Amino acid sequence: MRFGATLGKWLDMPVGSTRFTWRKFWADSALAYTYLLPSLLIIGTFSLYPVLKAFYMSLNDWGIGPKGTFNGLENYLEILTDKVFWQACKNTAIYVLGTIPVEITLALGLATLLNRKLKGMAFWRLAYFTPYVTTSVAISIVWAWIYHEQYGVLNWIIGLFGVGPQPWLSDPRYTMFTIILMSVWRSLGYTTVIFLAGLQNMDRELANAARVDGATERQVFRHITWPLLSPTTFFVSITSIIGAFKVFTEIFVLYGGRPGPMNAGMTIVFYIYESAWVDKRMGYASAAAYVLFFMVLAVTVFQFWYARKRVHYS
If asked whether residues 27 and 134 sit together in one domain, one would say no
If asked whether residues 10 and 135 sit together in one domain, one would say no
CATH at residue 271: 1.10.3720.10
Residues paired with residue 70 on neighbouring β-strands, in sequence order: 60
| Model pLDDT, residue 1 | 46
If asked whether residues 244 and 95 sit together in one domain, one would say yes
In tens, the pLDDT along 214-273 reads 888 888 888 888 888 999 999 999 999 999 999 999 999 999 999 999 999 999 999 999
Taking every pair of Cα atoms in the chain, the longest distance, rounded to a whole number of angstroms, is: 88
Residues paired with residue 60 on neighbouring β-strands, in sequence order: 70
pLDDT over 60 (residue 8) = no
pLDDT over 70 (residue 313) = no
Given pLDDT bands bounded at 50, 70 and 90, which one contains residue 2? low
Q: How far apart are CA 192 and CA 27, in angstroms?
A: 48
Domain annotation covers residue 59:
no
The DSSP call for residue 169 is: T
The residues, any chain, with a CB within 8 Å of residue 159's CB and separated by 6 or more, are 165
pLDDT over 80 (residue 99) = yes
In tens, the pLDDT along 201-212 reads 888 788 888 888
The residues, any chain, with a CB within 8 Å of residue 151's CB and separated by 6 or more, are 145
Indicate if the alpha-carbon torsion angle 236, 240, 243, 248 is positive or negative: positive
Structural domain including 204 reads 75-306
Residues paired with residue 61 on neighbouring β-strands, in sequence order: 69
Which value, in Å, is the radius of gyration of the alpha carbons in the chain?
26
The length of the chain, given as a count of residues? 314
| Model pLDDT, residue 15 | 46
In tens, the pLDDT along 120-157 reads 777 877 888 889 989 999 999 999 999 999 999 999 99
Q: What are phi and psi of 60, to 5 degrees?
A: -130, 155
CB 312 within 8 A of CB 227: yes
If asked whether residues 167 and 269 sit together in one domain, one would say yes
Given pLDDT bands bounded at 50, 70 and 90, which one contains residue 311? confident
- Give the residue ranges of DSSP H helices in 136-263: 136-146, 153-159, 175-200, 204-212, 217-220, 226-228, 230-245, 249-254
Q: How far apart are CA 241 and CA 292, in angstroms?
A: 13
The number of folded domains in the chain is 2
| Model pLDDT, residue 171 | 95
| Model pLDDT, residue 20 | 59
| Model pLDDT, residue 252 | 96
If asked whether residues 175 and 36 sit together in one domain, one would say no
CA distance to 96, 128, 195, per residue, from 106 (Å): 15, 12, 11
If asked whether residues 83 and 31 sit together in one domain, one would say no
